[in-house]
Amino acid sequence: MSAPAKEARAVEKVDLRSPEEIRAEKKKGRMGAWLILPGMLYMALFFAAPVVVLLSMSLFVKPEGAELGEFVPGWNFGTYAEVWNRYWPVLLRSFVFALIATVAALIIAFPMAYLVAVRLRGKPLLKGILLVLLIAPFFSSFILRTQAWKQILADEGWIVQTLKAVAILPADGSLTATPFAVICGLTYNFLPFMMLPIYASLERLDTRLLEASGDLYASPAQTFMKVTLPQSMPGVFAGTLLTFIPAAGDYVNAAILGNNRDTSMIGQVIDSRFFKVIDYPGAAALSFILMVCILILVLIYIRRFGTKDLF
Amino acid sequence: MSPRSTHLREQRQRMASAVRQAHISRRGVLSGAAGVAMLGLLSACGTKGMGGAKPSPAADRSAEEAAVRWSNWTLYLDLDDAGRKHPTLDAFQDTSGLRATYTEDIDSNDTWYGKVQGQLSRGQDIGADIITPSDWMCERLIRQGYVQKLEHANMPNVMANMLPKLKDVRWDQGRYRSVTWQTGFTGLVWNKKAFPQGLRNVEDLWDPRLKGRVTVLDEMRDTMPMMLLDQGIDIAGDWTQTDYENSIDVLDRNIRNGQIRQVKGNSYKEDLISGDVVAAMAYSGDITQLNFENGDQWEFVLPERKGLIWSDNMMVPVGSPHKANAEKLMDYYYDPEIAAEVAAYVNYVCPVLGADEAMKDIDEELVNDPLIFPTDEYLAQSTSERQLTLDEETLFQNMFQEVIGS
């Protein structure tokens, strides 16, 4: 809205309200600004500033005969081309893994959320217990839980032994140190981020709509597709974003459950550029590329599937 | 299983459960703090270039402040039965009147360096008066001027009792900037039941029967010298980039074809326990510990073509205001009796002359353990690599990361 238009509307309003009302309105506005301030400051300090630092670091130059870790400010855009050419397959793999994990988490989380939020209505005790059971594992350490997957999928474990017995897995096959294990870990670790938003939106689902749908001769499948799913879309939407974004940048799962051939994710590469090779500009450029890629993917997703009332 | 004194075994079990609970490992690869540290460092150094002039040491306020702060690896100092106190360190506090703060916050040379380099380059206090990095990192820190010169007159025990072999390391002739804390070996390990044939050289890891059941270490400074040695190269001598490339090709081939299951940090121990891994490159002290915790299942050897010997060394970082106090502490641990107490707990090679005598009063059997008091023949089975040039350091690390997929 242009400034004069705003003014015109404000003038219009003034004519309609009493002086007390105007004062109250103004006070409310000032209040709002003050309440936003801490959030804005926080974002400026811990998001905007680091991003600027990251950007400038990614353009630093290594001077001739420099000591390890010595870089001077510059405009070396070549770093971007270099890391992109070298690591785009890893970046692509990260997004593919994150996508598969997100879809898997959605398939697992939706029925769980539905059970707790809709089916168990009117049974608060059972519902409470189930909800706690679903969330409780996530009170323990992230690394510890990922480590547990190593034990679950270990060669001597019953899963691998059973799969071998029924010849699904070849005799010399294994599950750990495979892409499968990494995706399992990602799916599991980000499950609550998928489940909770879906649960929150299903909880508000008006079951009378389901009855009405049945009264209109819709099959259960039709009811689900036409009533339940659309009603839960805000939750699904939030859940997929909350799962996909951190999963794409994750490196713990790939480091613990992966191998060194076909499971490396971009987080691992950034980690090794920074700590092992001491290539600070390269690490910064990769981080920035990752951010931009996620931003683009998320924007496409929002444009394609996003609802207006969400954004 | 060889019968060791019960108190030692109990200690081991406690250590094991402490590890399981806290989930920390001495040379762990993963650090949750890594990401946070990265942000911190970037914002700290972003406005100003790193490097340039060497930082100057901080003024010594040891006389006014009776304190000393020590950063070390986990499970690297004796611990009492309750698992809370370090008896030798407590005794030091009592006799010296200094308050010692002991922190186990080094879990990888690289991660530690990434965290503190910005501060070191500006000569700032990193919150430690003694740090304990490995040889090659010590060499780098000395070259970069990130550590203070030590006063030999303040450390009579160190001067008198350091093993002669250790006194003239290539990167710190005469030990003016570093004092050895513990020494260890990098060698080969295998599960005796699953692979009774055993290993003699790195090359035996490529046995088809071990396909997918092998790990190598993710520290380039361990795995690559081992690979070079296996090619019959004298790693202390003048080997070339071509030698390195030939060796890394062997590594690459065995990663591609699935012979090597994973390239791992300290967590290789968990894979040995779970049985996923049958044979591996390993650190000597780790295997002693594993055998105590899980029954005597594994055997550790130095390869016939030699293994590696390395040390972690105490140094005073450039911004530390307590150098004299730090020297006092270093000197204290070169008392043979104190050193023996530590060695009985950590099971790494003790760098102190006369500690074997003192060990007789603690645990007779440990005196003959070659991993704590190695014989000359055992030592002759180990070596360490020549200095890498600056360019080599970056290039070799880069190639290594490339081959291990990150």
Q: Which domains does chain A carry?
A: 1-58 (no CATH), 78-305 (1.10.3720.10)
Mean pLDDT, residues A134-143? 87
Q: Residue B19 has what pLDDT?
A: 37
> pLDDT tens digits for B389-398?
989 999 999 9
Better-predicted residue by pLDDT, B265 or B50: B265
| Closest Cα in chain A to B273 | A151
Which of B39, B42, B50 shows the shortest C-beta gap to A70?
B50
Check whether B47 has a pLDDT greater than 60. Answer: no
If you write DSSP's letter for every residue of chain A in order, what string do you get?
A: --HHHHHHHHHHHHHHS-HHHHHHHHHHHHHHHHHHHHHHHHHIIIIIHHHHHHHHHHT-BPPTTPPTT--B----THHHHHHHHHHHHHHHHHHHHHHHHHHHHHHHHHHHHHIIIIITTT-HHHHHHHHHHHHGGGGS-HHHHHHHHHHHT-TTSHHHHHHHHTTSS-TT--STTSHHHHHHHHHHHHHHHHHHHHHHHHHT--HHHHHHHHHTT--HHHHIIIIIHHHHHHHHHHHHHHHHHHHHH--HHHHHH--SSS---HHHHHHIIIIIS--HHHHHHHHHHHHHHHHHHHHHHHHHH--TTT-
Tell whether A280 is within 8 A of chain B (Cβ): yes
How high is the mean pLDDT of chain B? 87
How much is the pLDDT for B178? 97
CB pairs under 8 A between A and B: 132
Kindly state the DSSP code that residue B208 receives in the 8-state scheme.
G
Window from A11-15, A21-25, B92-96 with minimum mean pLDDT: A11-15
Q: How far apart are CA B325 and CA B78, in angstroms?
A: 21
Per-residue pLDDT tens over the stretch B197-241: 999 999 999 999 999 999 999 999 999 999 999 999 999 999 999
Contact A154/B275, CB-based, under 8 Å? yes
Cα separation, B193 vs B199, in Å, equals 13
Residue A239 scores a pLDDT above 80: yes
Q: Specify the pTM.
A: 0.82
pLDDT at B140 exceeding the cut of 60: yes
Per-residue model confidence (pLDDT) at position B52: 55
CA nearest neighbour of B111 among B134, B142, B78, B139: B134
pLDDT > 90 in chain A, percent = 70
pLDDT at residue B363 is higher than 60: yes
Judge whether residue B340 has pLDDT over 80. yes
Partner residue opposite A274 with nearest CB, options B38, B398, B404: B38
pLDDT digits (tens, 9 = 90+) for B245-254: 999 999 999 9
Buried b / exposed e across B26-63, counting CB within 10 Å, b at 16+?
A: bbbbbbeebbebbebbbbbbbeebbbeeebebbebebe
pLDDT at B22 over 60: no
Q: Identify the CATH class of B7-39+55-178+315-334.
A: alpha beta
Residues 196-225 of B with CB under 8 A from A: 211-212, 220
Residue A304 Cα, gap to closest chain B Cα (Å): 32
Of A69, A90, A255, the CB nearest to B117: A69
Confidence at A15, pLDDT banded by 50, 70, 90: low
Q: State the best of B43, B218, B406 to mutate against chain A, taking most chain A CBs within 10 Å.
A: B406
Q: What CATH number has the domain spanning B184-308+386-403? A: 3.40.190.10
pLDDT of residue A308: 54
- Structure confidence at residue A98 (pLDDT): 97
Residues 72-131 of B with CB under 8 A from A: 108, 110-111, 113-114, 117, 121
Asked whether the beta carbons of A213 and A227 are under 8 A apart, the reply is: yes
The answer on pLDDT for B81 being more than 90 is no
Contact A216/B at CB under 8 A: no
Per-residue confidence (pLDDT) for residue A7, from 0 to 100: 52
Q: What is the pLDDT of residue A22?
A: 79
Residue A143 predicted with pLDDT over 80: yes
pLDDT top residue among B164 and B45: B164
pLDDT at A285 over 90: yes
As annotated, the residues of chain B forming the CATH 3.40.190.10 domain(s) are 7-39+55-178+315-334, 184-308+386-403
- Cα–Cα distance for residue pair A59/A75, rounded to 1 Å: 5
Instruction: Report the gap between the CA of A79 and the closest CA in chain B (Å).
Output: 15
Dig out the tokens for B262 from the structure.
């994973």
How many whole angstroms separate alpha carbon B170 and alpha carbon B387?
8
Average pLDDT rounded to a whole number, residues A164-192: 91
pLDDT for the residue numbered A4: 53
Q: B401 vs A174: CB contact, 8 Å cut-off?
A: no
Give the residue, A143 or B101, on which the prediction is more confident.
B101
Confidence of residue B27 (pLDDT cuts 50, 70, 90): very low
* First vs last C-alpha separation in chain B: 40
Mean pLDDT of B377-406: 92
Q: Which amino acid is at B264?
A: K
The tens digit of pLDDT for each residue in A29-38 reads: 788 888 999 9
